[in-house]
Amino acid sequence: MGAEMLKRLHDKNSLKERIIQYDLAKNSKWKSYDATDCDFPELSEDQLRDLTFGIFQLRQAKSYVAEHLEKEKSSSASPGAKNFFVELCDEQPDIVRVKYQSRFTNAKTRISYIQFDENKKQPIVCCYCTCSAGSRTIGCCSHSAATLWYLGYQRHLITPSYVQTSEKYFDHVEASQKYSAYSSSSEEDMKYTLGHRTDSDGSDISQ
Ligand SMILES: [Zn+2]
């Protein structure tokens, strides 16, 4: 862990502070839109990997996206269409939030907020979520990982089978992270995911 990371470890979550300052937790500040109406920056796989550093709940993130899509599908005007709904606030155009509501009634709704700036090389400024891991400033929680992955990456891929692609990407990330335990070289990492990955079915490498 480098000095920069150690420094960041003790940073306050600036987005959380902004949400408090401008009272952004209020639902009345936000309106629901389809993800296609949101100008979220496109992220490369490398950028995603950097942002989700330390995430070990990637399967969870994937299931949040699938559940969010499925939920909206049933209420969509066009049956079969898969909408991903986001919430935007007129006063704060550089923040998007996504409500993850579980179909299980005893599970709490979690709200993931992402602040972005398309003019920056790393366009994700800060992530905050209402879950217990949501304030971390290194990496992010599974909800924020799900938002980043869907808005920044997945929806830009033109493919009819989103599920297949998403599983492939998450397996790729999990494999790289597992492999990172043995080697910190990203080149080795890539070799592993491109070459050896297909040799096994790779199931259940997370807990
Ligand atoms: Zn969260």
Kindly give the distance from the C-alpha atom of residue 163 to the centroid of ligand 1, in angstroms, as a whole number: 22
Amino acid at 90: D
What is residue 11's predicted lDDT score, i.e. its pLDDT?
78
What is residue 119's predicted lDDT score, i.e. its pLDDT?
93
The 10s digit of each residue's pLDDT in 81-96 is 678 999 999 999 999 9
Average pLDDT of the chain is 75
Kindly give the distance from the C-alpha atom of residue 73 to the centroid of ligand 1, in angstroms, as a whole number: 23
3-class secondary structure, 53: coil
Q: How many helices (H) and strands (E) does the chain have?
A: 7, 5
Kindly give the distance from the C-alpha atom of residue 132 to the centroid of ligand 1, in angstroms, as a whole number: 7
Count of residues for the chain? 207
Helical packing angle, 142-152 and 58-75, nearest 10°: 60
User: How many CA atoms within 13 Å lie on the side-chain side of 167?
Assistant: 7
What is residue 203's predicted lDDT score, i.e. its pLDDT?
39
In this prediction, residue 131 has a pLDDT band, given cuts at 50, 70 and 90, of very high
**Domain boundaries of the chain, sorted by first residue:** 3-159
